[in-house]
Chain A
């Protein structure tokens, strides 16, 4: 009988290539030899991974193989399944889930465990010889029992095995049921297969189920996709611009709070799921960063991103999305707690795989917007999951939704941009197909301005300052109001500049009311001035004020006269008083509500007191903890002692350089410094070659051992990490 490793030794390079490309985990890291490759390939995790890549039909064939006794033949496999099993078998062999031995086909040793004890719901093979044709003669009661067990699970429970009902009794008697324990009986595999009519599956899903859905028009798909692409780019840009103005705070547990997500969703005019998707996109592409104060802000990568062409910008976000294991669809789900966007709980192992599978299904079915039900059926065939299948369906649903948001699909069908993107070709096409930017707006008399298309970046930035965006989409509607004009003035524009900009940019004449609005606000803007100041000097005698302003001795105060009777100063009132007194003036203090302050002023600190911390004794741990610690130390000691002994024996035998572990090294060095004894060390130089030195250790300083080298007679420093071992002389 040939083993799996023998089989591996017999196959050629092409077969290895197939095997490794289907199961990359076999070569990461590269195994040293075929034996260890075989061990890895037969390990349960690797087999499970390989099984996960099977489609429903291949899995059925594998289950059938699991139901056969080894070695088995193709013929017996076909008998249990379908003629098409031959092709499936070739695939299974190529990925190492079945292998041909000299006496027939065999399975890698652990495979049966991985696919489960009851492949396809069949019990174990019978030990006794069975006369299966007797089954047809079974009494009605027994037939009922058999019906229950036929399609698995093959186990059934009985009240008491010693005293079974008549139906069970007949079956037990004929060995068609085998007792497992007091209360459980099992249907032997042969009986199961016989009852299933010789095939082990109800349906043999040889071919993929048909994908149905709405047939789309190619032009419409691409139009919709390009609209989605431009929208996605706009969303990301607007999100980041928004956060640049008002950075969000990250939650203590990480991630974006529900309220902040809501704000984003309102600001962008999308639902919260979509808002979460956009924030995640920005996160994946490092367009945002979370700073030390937990503030979420655009990173400087955003500025670089903005300067790229739309196609390049889109490629950045789409590529990041394609491979990420983060699933924005989970945001808002209440598990243990609310799952937050940008939070730590969004990673799912399967996300990337399901996304790739979803996109590949879409690519295989051009111009088809699949309906959810048939899509899930096909997905379940392409990637049958045995646990948590609802998550896979959800992942696929979210992938479809996100592909639409990104414009990889349009109206639910794969777009040409999506195809080009997935094939890794140049996306230049997007730049040509995006709606042309417009360089003008239309101002109307109801104080709105409309940009009838995507605005040039420069203009849209300017407008965003002086008007509020009222509606977004292909076009943008801006509204001017007193507040927005004031904001533009606050940004340092003058009324004239605003007017000139609007006249230049608008295709329609500027309505007079808007002109007046700008002029009115500009006239009022800045009439009141507000500033921070530490102290003031006021005096009803303007002559005295003039004198103070002219006094050279007071220059240190850098006084500023803001009104005929008021002078302000950035120094503390007490200092100002002192300087004034020193210069011969007679100032009096005044409180914030204008009351004259008299009398001695006792100073008080402005900050809260912080008494010194008490350095206390360390609390003594409980008896149990201490005992545990002692046990651990003793065990560790024992094993390391044994190791040292062994190593010493080996060292002596080989006459090698001293070797010790890092902890032992420090330990020995410290001891020898105290004992002032010479010792022998192994020391590695810059090139890694180790030399043998005899030294007198003096002290340890900043990670180095200062010692006298016997060879040179000089005091020299040895870096401790480079000391490979220490031994007494």
Chain B
């Protein structure tokens, strides 16, 4: 028995003891093939998945290296079945190859005819194939490249894609690092993506994903389509690109509800892409009409279904997905991986925090009691209204008031789900409110005032969940949310994670009604962050009122 930092479990999870002196070394060694699942304070959990092992194969690691690594760092003997499984899984990769043939176009080639025979008989695969060329080769419909890769993956015979990517129309893009420097992890992420061809980069909120996108563009040096969640985010991207790259204003276009510009670098919103006109998606052509060399999906966890479908058809273009929280409550994570590409880079939030690139944050759950009459109302309300009934209790208003008062002078965001609750809060606190029907112009003005410090407190609805860059916000107070959404919780915390100029930590308050469904949802919401190592502190509303914090 060695005294390694890693425990290999029989269910293919790897437990990494991070208090062990070799843990960092071990983490680097297993990162290429194991997927990080949870990273709480003491023991991180990784998982060996076929996808992860195949990605490792694609990146040039072989089964022997993987097995050696496991044995080297393992505290106990590695279960033999796992070693066999690793070798077997990895040997499946590359038996099938997708290649571009000068005569037949896209072809599926194999070295193992039995495998080919097996897959071409599969019901899901057969319609995607063209004519049989010889015993080892079969033509594939070029438009089905994404689909066939996805289906082969599900069958357990992943195809190695040698068909390459179209270069797209060349366009010179360089990073301009004058008053800033690209951070090591951003560079690693961009390189990881570039070598892999396509894929997803997972970085915590506030860790500078835009820069990873810019660096990827500098690698591609080609025209780029960037898809973002909303117009505000589009403008932020534009500003960042102007600041960080050689691109000038004329080279960047905005394709949104308001403007329809197509430039070498075009930033489009998901909303406009999925807008239907006479029953058809009028704007999806944007993918095709231009010879993009790179397509970037910002906040890829929000990717809407029509774009999913369309993405399957553009497998010959390089794709980069960016996200902080690849947890989808609809369980579509797998789809993201197979359509955009595998996870190319992932790092625990706490690691970035310890390097000082995101602000340390304290998460606090404040529990309030419902009043007697509210309790009765809650107990008798219909199931679909119960959450609203308890989440919007009047007691929360007093707590928020006390918290805002306590943190006077700091930049505060009050975030909630229900508009009348937010209206009420905005009125009580006497601060502006940004919600869905606030015009873009007005939003920009308010955000700008907040950034400059002209106003220190904003009440925002879920429109501010994502992509809104508010560097100096240090306090977030959450009063209600989209039920038990884990990624919403993480994204809201993300709003206050930009490192502060004075190195101050951020505080994330979540105001919860005690003994209600609100509390159950909170537990689910907190799970993602808890798994990232954020430990919630629970306090009572009375502690807030009495100033005991």
Q: Tell me the A residues contacting B by CB distance below 8 Å.
A: 220, 223-224, 226-228, 231, 269-270, 404, 410-412, 435, 442, 444-448, 450, 452-453, 471-475, 477, 508, 511-513, 516-517, 520, 524
The answer for the CA separation of A227 and B40 in the assembled complex, in Å, is: 27
Check A445–B530 contact: CB distance below 8 A: yes
Check B38–A446 contact: CB distance below 8 A: yes
Q: Indicate whether B381 reaches chain A with its CB closer than 8 angstroms.
A: no
Kindly provide the distance from the CB of A576 to the nearest chain B CB, expressed in whole angstroms: 35
The answer for the CA separation of A513 and B536 in the assembled complex, in Å, is: 7
Q: Which A residues are CB-close (under 8 A) to B365?
A: 513
Q: Indicate whether B290 reaches chain A with its CB closer than 8 angstroms.
A: no
Closest to B40 in A: A444
- Which among B38, B519, B535 has the greatest number of chain A C-beta atoms within 10 A? B535
Kindly provide the distance from the CB of A442 to the nearest chain B CB, expressed in whole angstroms: 5
Contacts A228-B80, A446-B531 known; A220 to B75 CB distance under 8 Å?
no
Q: Indicate whether B9 reaches chain A with its CB closer than 8 angstroms.
A: yes
Check B77–A227 contact: CB distance below 8 A: yes
Check B11–A450 contact: CB distance below 8 A: no
Q: Which B residues are CB-close (under 8 A) to A473?
A: 7-11, 13, 76, 79
Kindly provide the distance from the CB of B39 to the nearest chain A CB, expressed in whole angstroms: 9
The answer for the CA separation of A411 and B71 in the assembled complex, in Å, is: 13
Check A474–B8 contact: CB distance below 8 A: yes
Q: Indicate whether B534 reaches chain A with its CB closer than 8 angstroms.
A: yes
Q: Is the interface of B mostly helix, strand, loop or mixed?
A: mixed
The answer for the CA separation of A435 and B11 in the assembled complex, in Å, is: 19
Please report which residues of chain B, range 518-549, place their CB below 8 angstroms from some CB of chain A when the two chains form the complex. 519, 523, 526-527, 530-531, 533-538
Closest to A433 in B: B1
Pick the contact of B43: A452, A516, A517 (CB < 8 A).
Answer: A452
Kindly provide the distance from the CB of B526 to the nearest chain A CB, expressed in whole angstroms: 7
Q: How many chain B residues touch A (Cβ–Cβ < 8 Å)? A: 37
Q: Is the interface of A mostly helix, strand, loop or mixed?
A: mixed
The answer for the CA separation of A154 and B531 in the assembled complex, in Å, is: 76
Q: Which A residues are CB-close (under 8 A) to B15?
A: 450, 452, 471, 475, 477
Kindly provide the distance from the CB of B46 to the nearest chain A CB, expressed in whole angstroms: 11
The answer for the CA separation of A269 and B78 in the assembled complex, in Å, is: 16
Q: What are 26 of the A-B contact pairs (CB < 8 Å)?
A: A224-B78, A226-B77, A227-B76, A228-B79, A231-B10, A410-B80, A411-B80, A445-B41, A445-B534, A445-B536, A452-B7, A472-B9, A472-B10, A473-B76, A474-B77, A475-B15, A477-B13, A477-B15, A508-B42, A512-B538, A513-B530, A513-B538, A516-B538, A517-B523, A520-B515, A524-B515
The answer for the CA separation of A270 and B43 in the assembled complex, in Å, is: 24
The answer for the CA separation of A227 and B71 in the assembled complex, in Å, is: 13
Closest to A225 in B: B77
The answer for the CA separation of A226 and B535 in the assembled complex, in Å, is: 38
Q: Indicate whether B254 reaches chain A with its CB closer than 8 angstroms.
A: no
Q: Which B residues are CB-close (under 8 A) to A472?
A: 9-11
Check B43–A444 contact: CB distance below 8 A: yes
Please report which residues of chain B, range 43-58, place their CB below 8 angstroms from some CB of chain A when the two chains form the complex. 43, 45
- Which among A224, A444, A452 has the greatest number of chain B C-beta atoms within 10 A? A444
The answer for the CA separation of A220 and B2 in the assembled complex, in Å, is: 11
- Which among A270, A511, A517 has the greatest number of chain B C-beta atoms within 10 A? A511
Q: Which A residues are CB-close (under 8 A) to B35?
A: none
Kindly provide the distance from the CB of A32 to the nearest chain B CB, expressed in whole angstroms: 54
* Given A444-B43, A452-B43, 8 additional A-B pairs, CB 8 A: A231-B10, A410-B77, A435-B1, A444-B41, A445-B530, A453-B76, A472-B10, A513-B526
Mask: chain B, 11-53; 1 = CB below 8 Å from A; 0 = not: 1010101000000000000000000001011110100000000
Kindly provide the distance from the CB of A511 to the nearest chain B CB, expressed in whole angstroms: 6
The answer for the CA separation of A231 and B9 in the assembled complex, in Å, is: 11
**Ranked 5 nearest A-B pairs via Cβ:** A473-B9, A227-B77, A474-B76, A445-B535, A446-B530
The answer for the CA separation of A23 and B523 in the assembled complex, in Å, is: 72
Kindly provide the distance from the CB of A513 to the nearest chain B CB, expressed in whole angstroms: 5
Kindly provide the distance from the CB of A363 to the nearest chain B CB, expressed in whole angstroms: 19
The answer for the CA separation of A79 and B40 in the assembled complex, in Å, is: 78
Contacts A472-B11, A473-B8, A474-B75 known; A511 to B80 CB distance under 8 Å?
no
The answer for the CA separation of A474 and B533 in the assembled complex, in Å, is: 23
Check B45–A477 contact: CB distance below 8 A: yes
Q: Which B residues are CB-close (under 8 A) to A520?
A: 515, 519
Closest to A228 in B: B80
Closest to B2 in A: A223
The answer for the CA separation of A72 and B40 in the assembled complex, in Å, is: 83
Q: Which A residues are CB-close (under 8 A) to B523?
A: 513, 517
Mask: chain B, 53-85; 1 = CB below 8 Å from A; 0 = not: 000000000000000000100011111100100
Contacts A445-B41, A450-B43, A513-B536 known; A223 to B77 CB distance under 8 Å?
yes
Pick the contact of A512: B76, B80, B535 (CB < 8 A).
Answer: B535
Q: Which B residues are CB-close (under 8 A) to A508?
A: 41-42
Kindly provide the distance from the CB of B22 to the nearest chain A CB, expressed in whole angstroms: 15
Closest to B530 in A: A446
The answer for the CA separation of A473 and B531 in the assembled complex, in Å, is: 21
The answer for the CA separation of A442 and B45 in the assembled complex, in Å, is: 13
Check A269–B11 contact: CB distance below 8 A: yes
Q: Which B residues are CB-close (under 8 A) to A227?
A: 76-80
Kindly provide the distance from the CB of A506 to the nearest chain B CB, expressed in whole angstroms: 10
Check A452–B10 contact: CB distance below 8 A: no
Closest to B537 in A: A512
Closest to B527 in A: A446
The answer for the CA separation of A48 and B531 in the assembled complex, in Å, is: 67
